[in-house]
Amino acid sequence: MATYLLDFDGVFFRYGTMEPLEGDIEYVADLKSNGHRVIFLTARRRGENDPPHLTVEKTEQALARLGIEYDDIIEGVTSPRVLVNDEGALAIEHPRNTPLRRITLESLRQRARSERIERIHRALAAVSWVAWKYAYSSDADDYVQTIVIAKSLADCGGFDHADLVARYRQPTDYNFHGEEPPPSGIHPNYKGQMSKLLESDAPLYEATDGIADGAAMRVTAIAACFWSYHCDKDHGK
C-alpha cells in the first residue's frame, strides 16, 4: 500500500475550477480499490480564500457530488513542494491539466530506476574520460571496456555472457578527442585475450590464458550495478 499525494489545481481538477480532468475520477477510485491512501495537497484554504469560489469547504462539496473517496486534504500548501523522505520516495512533476491515468506506482519505479542507471552510466563515462591516458586512442581499451560492461549490466539487469561478448565486438559509439576507438578500444596491433575474442566467432567466448591489468578499473562498472540492484531490492522495487 502506498500513499498518493495529489494536487487539486492542474492535477485532479482543471486549474482554477471544480472540473475533474478526464479519467481522474476513475484513477482515484482505482487507487482506493487497490488499498492505497489518497491525500490531496492544495493551496486552497478554508474560510477566506482567493478566489472565494475555491474554498476547501466548496471543494469538499464538489468531491462529495463526484463520489470521490479520499483520506485527507492538507490545505494552504505553498509551492514549490519539497518531499524529504528516508526511503521509498517517488515524485513526479506532472504537466498541468493532463490526465493522471498514465501515472502508476510501477511506472514511477521504472522511471526512477532508469534515471539511476543513466546517472551511473554518466559517472562511469566520466571516469573513462578522465582516466584515458594522454588522449591516446590506442590506449583506450580498458576505459572503453568499462563502459561496455556497464551498459551490458544495466540493460540486461545483470551478467549476460553472450550479450557482453557481442558488445565487445561491436564498433564503439564514442568519440574521444576527435577519434573513434575500434571495437573494445583494441588497437589492431595489440595481441592478447581481447584480440582473441574479437577474432573468434564463439558467442560464449572464454579466455583460456593470459592476464590483463585493467580489471581494477572494470570492477567499477560491476560495483555500480551491484549497488543499483541492492537499492532496488532493499526498496522492494
Pairing relationship of beta strands 72-74 and 37-41 according to DSSP bridges: parallel
Does residue 161 surpass a pLDDT of 90? yes
pTM for this prediction: 0.50
Is 183 or 222 the better-scoring residue by pLDDT?
A: 183
- For the chain, how big is the Rg over CA atoms in Å? 26
Mean per-residue pLDDT, 186-199: 79
Give the per-residue pLDDT at 85. 87
Query: Which grid cell is 191?
Result: 595481441
The CATH code for residues 3-103 is: 3.40.50.1000
Is 44 or 176 the better-scoring residue by pLDDT?
A: 44
Which residue, 123, 127, 104, is CA-closest to 115?
123
CB atoms inside a 10 Å sphere around CB 111: 13
* Domain range list for the chain: 3-103, 110-234
Give the per-residue pLDDT at 237. 45
Most confidently modeled of 4-13, 135-144, 200-209?
4-13
Is 18 or 133 the better-scoring residue by pLDDT?
A: 18
